[in-house]
Amino acid sequence: TKPYKVAAFYSISNCQPGLKGVHLGNFLIKQVAEALKLEFPEIRQFCTLSPIPGFLRWLLANEPFSRDALTEKAWLRLEDRRRQVLARAQSLSAASDFARLAQDETLRLSIVSLAAAFLSKVSSSSRQADPVARFHLHNGARLERINDQADLSVKGLKQSLGVMVNYLYDLSTIEENHDRFLRGETACSKSVADLINR
């Protein structure tokens, strides 16, 4: 058999009502990663495949992008892409309509660029922040990759136009990324940063 190189977390949830507000996710991820490294030492990457439940709600709210940390050119390009997607998204109601929008090749780059911009601006204090993104970024993960057409279920389409994200847990940089997040910075890969500026 081939050696395992990647371990992906798909669902991390607190299913016990009595534990509401108790932050076990960070502990759980680190414990599982350490246990997997012991059993499968060839594993090099730990990542998630995560939803973006706040993305479409944020997009439809049509709040302007902050110009902070964006060049004028990147800001104008993102605003133009948002207008293109909004022009189509605001009139949608049926899941099949959302599916057509998510699979529209002419809007594909716009959708993933907007998702990257949305997630890269998540902060620990923002009320608009996506809760899943805030959870992983606060735990020290890095925003690694945006995946379009990854969740074409009705729920996935209506929450995020089918987009999902990979957060990378590099055990050697978790503390540094956590500290950066508390300072208002989001650790993200070059490919995600390029989506915002492309």
Task: CATH number of the domain at 77, please.
Answer: 3.40.630.150
In a domain, 1, yes or no: no
| pLDDT at residue 114, as a whole number | 93
In a domain, 95, yes or no: yes
- Distances in Å between the Cα of 70 and the Cα atoms of 19, 73, 74, 120, 144 are 39, 8, 6, 11, 19
Q: With contact defined as beta carbons under 8 Å apart, do 63 and 34 qualify?
A: no
In a domain, 17, yes or no: no
From 110, 113, 120, 136, active-site residue: 136
126 is catalytic: no
Give catalytic status of residue 91 as yes or no. Answer: no
The count of structural domains within the chain is 1
Q: Quote the domain boundaries for residue 47.
A: 6-12+22-197
Which listed residue (50, 110, 120, 160) is catalytic? 50
pLDDT at 23: 59
- Cα distances from 102 to residues 69, 149, 152, in angstroms, run 28, 6, 8
User: Looking at the domain assignment, is residue 91 inside a domain?
Assistant: yes
Amino acid sitting at position 19: L
The pLDDT of residue 50: 95
Tens of pLDDT, residue by residue, the chain (198 residues): 678 888 888 776 656 565 555 556 666 777 888 888 889 989 988 999 999 998 988 888 877 667 776 788 888 888 899 888 888 877 776 667 777 888 888 888 999 999 999 998 765 556 567 889 988 998 899 999 999 999 989 899 889 999 999 999 998 899 999 999 999 889 999 999 999 877
User: For residue 38, is it within any domain?
Assistant: yes
pLDDT value for 96:
72
pLDDT of residue 123: 58
